[in-house]
Amino acid sequence: MSKNGSYESLIIAGFGGQGIILAGKVVAQAAMVSGREVTYMPSYGAEVRGGTANCMVIIAEESIASPMVINPDTLIAMNKASYNKFAPRIKPGGLLVLNSSKVPDKPQRDDIEVLAIPVDDIAIELNNPQSANMVALGAYLQKRGLIDPDTAASCLENVLAPRHHQTIPANQQAIRRGAEFVKTVPA
């Protein structure tokens, strides 16, 4: 949670087709299962694939007044365009989870914590390139410690449409791999 301990505001952003909206749904569901208050607000570009997609999630111990996130505690940036758009808005002391497979540049801010993780590369190592979003999600959850990554992994069945249930084991593995990556990064 944020420094005040009562809430966490999150923006997950990337291209359409990167599973941005799904990652937000999983976080929101996992937060609800964990007994927290949640808001979830997706935003899509005009294009279905390749356009922009982002979602705002707020996780709190108490009622949430507005679902809007202007200055997030955390940003998960899955591509360069999303990094450029949202990184300047991260609150000082916040967290940037950066897909270093797509954004190799070092952030110019020294007032935030940066977790650079090659999520695309890890997803390819898992033989599931489409699971990069889940790798990033697992890393975020492990780093913040407000929701157990296994709780999020268990929520996939309720979030994914039944026609995609065959992807649950691979997505669960990706969440766990993202969490494991964070454990290997020096604090």
Closest Cα to residue 137, out of 30, 61, 1, 52?
30
8 Å CB contact between 76 and 13: yes
Indicate whether 25 belongs to any domain: yes
Output the pLDDT for position 3.
44
- Answer yes or no: is 1 within a domain: no
Residue 18 belongs to what domain range?
Answer: 7-184
Q: 58 and 71 in contact (C-beta within 8 Å)?
A: no
Q: Does 7 have pLDDT greater than 80? A: yes
pTM to 2 decimal places: 0.93
* Residue 74 covered by a domain: yes
**Ranges of H-type helices in the chain:** 20-33, 80-86, 119-125, 132-144, 149-159, 168-184
Spatial neighbors of 161 by CB under 8 A, at least 6 apart, are none
The burial of 37, by beta-carbon neighbours within 10 Å (0-12 exposed, 13-18 middle, 19 or more buried), is given as middle
Residue 119 lies in a domain: yes
- The rounded radius of gyration (Å) of the Cα atoms in the chain is 15
pLDDT of residue 186: 76
Question: What CATH number does residue 38 fall under?
Answer: 3.40.920.10
2 located within any domain: no
Total structural domains within the chain: 1
**Could you read off the pLDDT of 148-182 as tens digits, one per residue?**
999 999 999 999 999 999 999 999 999 999 999 99
For residue 124, give Cα distances in angstroms to 121, 132, 187: 5, 8, 26
Instruction: Tell me how far apart the alpha carbons of residues 179 and 184 are, in angstroms, rounded to a whole number.
Output: 9
Q: Tokens at residue 168, please?
A: 């649950």
